[in-house]
Amino acid sequence: MTASTSPATSPADLFRESLRLLLDKDIDGWVALWHDEGVMEFPFAPDGWPKRLEGKAAVHDYIRDYPAHIDLHAFPDLAIHRTEDPATVVVEMRAVGRLVASGAPYDMTYIAVVTVADGRFTRYRDYWNPLALPQDGTADFAGSAR
């Protein structure tokens, strides 16, 4: 049974599977890890950027063009911390790759608070800094969802 079909999947295992799917550029597979009513939040989103996505369809619309903007190569630094709630983990990670439009390096650190139920993401609070992306239009991943 894969992580996307096993209700016994731990939050840490599900998160690791999600990273593998992102590296494989399997966006449909990544979205399949979401509960139909899952919520993705961006607490540090600046004005004009989405702060909250409600439902799997909204998450898909946001992430679907990711590989066209950011070519991920690795997650060299990953720490997944358990919390008192067994359904929730706090993740510290670094993603590296390149920006597709310019070829410039992509190197971003993230902190995420992720909650899982029945082997699916139900809440994902992504504390990444969109202001760390080049402001010259070469990194339009998040901008494509504005």
Query: Does the structure show a pLDDT above 70 at 66?
Result: yes
Query: Does the structure show a pLDDT above 70 at 87?
Result: yes
Predicted TM-score (pTM) of the model is: 0.85
* CATH number for position 98: 3.10.450.50
pLDDT at 132: 73
Domain of residue 102: give its range: 11-145
pLDDT at 20: 97
| Amino acid occupying residue 49 | W
Residue 105: Cβ within 10 Å count: 10
Residues in the chain: 146
Structural domain count of the chain: 1
In whole angstroms, give the CA distance from residue 1 to residue 49: 37
